[in-house]
Structure 1
Amino acid sequence: MLRPVTRQHRAVSAPIADLVTYRALPTQAIDHIDPFLFLNHHGPQVYRPNNRGLPFGPHPHRGFETVTFILAGDIMHQDSGGHQSVIEAGGIQWMTAGSGLIHSEISSDQFKQRGGDLEILQLWVNLPAKHKMVQPKYIGLQKPDIPEVKLDEGRVTLHAVSGEWAGTPGAVQPLAPIHLATVEFQAGSQVTLPVPTGNTVFFYTIRGKLRVNGQETEARYLTEFGPEGDELHIEALTDAVLLLGHAQPFNEPIVAYGPFVMNTEAEIKQAYQDYQAGKFGTWHE
């Protein structure tokens, strides 16, 4: 049975300094799709040579995970746990903030010098209460590290980031069963993908135009589905790129304030106290 489309939400313009940004979640129309909390779509834009790059200097997080998809350009990660990497186009970063850490996400020196195309998505995924205070972890993967699944005689390419897709395990197996993939479609291609009944669906069209379960959608739209049904039938009206996810909802209280996502106001207050007390680690330039 096909999942019914209930609503579509256009991402809102939310520029950050000179970085073109569209926020798909949360907006005035939709707060979250449990356990998916937040999505910023940066770009696409072209940076000139000798640019300042991405503006995300050192800042703290606790209680959730950030998943960053680099579509064009690059991103240089550093955190108070000692992790460092430069991930290029086609790669992803999966950071489990857990009990708390400080990180920065800026452009590489090479990108700042040369400039070029940039397009990046960052998704925040909640952690269940039992895992909110786990030890922080970081995984940085380049494009070749992410399994590809070819569908519709090769006209659809699914990049299996987490969970399992068409029998292929994703590159990351997170603490909670979160399934995430980016999917590239050639115009005229189509695919039917199973989604377990009861799982919420995260469906964000990055580029192009698609038809899902009979409903047309286009770039920078988040499509919301009802709970019934266990299939998504997706047709590509043009060449297109999709961010697709599904997961069992946690059905737990969500209290988000700034860079922290917990279950109670008291836990948010504690997060600020712990950060100010230096318990998120030491930042080294």
Structure 2
Amino acid sequence: MEVKQIEKVLKAPAPHMVGDGFRVHNFFPSGYEIDMSPFFLMDYGSKIEFSARREPRGVGVHPHRGFETVTIAYHGAVAHHDSSGNSGIIYPGDVQWMTAASGILHKEYHEQSYSLAGGPFQMVQLWVNLPAKAKMSKPKYQAVKQVDMAKFILPNDGGVIEVIAGNYNSIKGNASTFTPIEVYNARLNKGVKATFHFKSTYNTGFMIIEGSVKVNNLEIADQDMFVHFKNEGERIEVEALENSVILVLSGEPIDEPIVQYGPFLMNTEEEINQAISDYNQGRFGYLEE
């Protein structure tokens, strides 16, 4: 099977704040002009220490339409609420897959006990585009807790592949998706090699959350770097040079036009205007700040 070649190993772009609780590096679409469809956006919150605070930091009420947000926690804890009455807490190792679709108001902030204690904080948030036929479907949540996560245990105490969505070695992820998507956390112990297989046409990238790895016995990628692959070949081999955590992303591109305006991700300008109108008229519901 042909090796999926590396396009480029990308360093983290300069960080910026989202609200006062999330310091993120936007790898795409603004950080680098790379095509990772169906993943439209990746905000990587590299590890940072937050001081203790009584009033939790976070992001106030904001709308979403036309896509899904996927929040993956590595350190720290995030609480959230939405205009449909849903709420929850995302602890380290957990994943929250929110389908905004036809529209939702949302707010997220540091969980109270974490905020009072302070400490390390590290997260990833992805925006996953929806195909046109699903953009106005009903909003929903999929909470993938660490304790329930589908896992492939590597032999000889090599580590674990946590399958959030998709399929790895016949282990199927908990999250359902609208288009073919693979999302894993590969937690590899030092010296271990792991192999991944994706279709040559899939857009694929590895975010190095922790540690250092050698990819395809060729290039080294360290913590906070993103490995972007070419759309050719199917096989990727990774060797952990130290205990490492890799966020693995691969998916079938959605070959449709995209028009983005802030938190709206649609196919046409008319749909964006409709989203703005619906939001201004209160059709996304109500959520207290």
Q: What TM-score, normalized by structure 2, do the two folds share?
A: 0.93
Equivalent in 44, 48, 57 of residue 47 of structure 2: 44
Provide the rounded CA distance (Å) in 2 between the counterparts of 1:120 and 1:29: 19
The question of whether the paired residues in 2 share the 8 Å contact of 1:211 and 1:217 is answered with: yes
Equivalent in 137, 143, 147 of residue 134 of structure 1: 137
Q: Identify the residue that residue 266 of structure 1 maps to in structure 2.
A: 270
Equivalent in 234, 237, 240 of residue 238 of structure 2: 234
The Cα offsets for residues 237-281 of structure 1, whole Å up to 9 and x where unpaired, read as: 122111102111111111111101111111111111111111111
Greater mean alpha carbon deviation, residues 22-31 or residues 170-179:
22-31
The question of whether the paired residues in 2 share the 8 Å contact of 1:51 and 1:115 is answered with: no
Provide the rounded CA distance (Å) in 2 between the counterparts of 1:239 and 1:27: 30
The question of whether the paired residues in 1 share the 8 Å contact of 2:68 and 2:97 is answered with: yes
Change beyond 3 A, Cα 1:207–1:130: same
- Unaligned stretches of 5+ in structure 1? none
Provide the rounded CA distance (Å) in 2 between the counterparts of 1:183 and 1:197: 20
Counterparts of residues 50-199 of structure 1 (less than 5 Å) = 50-199=53-202
Provide the rounded CA distance (Å) in 1 between the counterparts of 2:130 and 2:65: 10
Task: Give aligned-pair identity as a percent.
Answer: 32
Q: 1:38 Cα shift? A: 1.0
Q: Which runs of 4+ in 1 moved over 6 A?
A: none
Q: 1:202 Cα shift? A: 2.5
- Unaligned stretches of 5+ in structure 2? none
Provide the rounded CA distance (Å) in 2 between the counterparts of 1:262 and 1:225: 26
The Cα offsets for residues 129-159 of structure 1, whole Å up to 9 and x where unpaired, read as: 1111110011223210211211243313111
Provide the rounded CA distance (Å) in 1 between the counterparts of 2:31 and 2:179: 28
Cα-Cα RMSD = 1.6
Q: What TM-score, normalized by structure 1, do the two folds share?
A: 0.95
The question of whether the paired residues in 1 share the 8 Å contact of 2:21 and 2:109 is answered with: no
The question of whether the paired residues in 1 share the 8 Å contact of 2:65 and 2:263 is answered with: yes
The Cα offsets for residues 73-119 of structure 1, whole Å up to 9 and x where unpaired, read as: 11101111111111211101000010010011111221222222211
Q: 1:29 Cα shift? A: 3.0
Q: 1:52 Cα shift? A: 4.1
Paired residues, number: 285
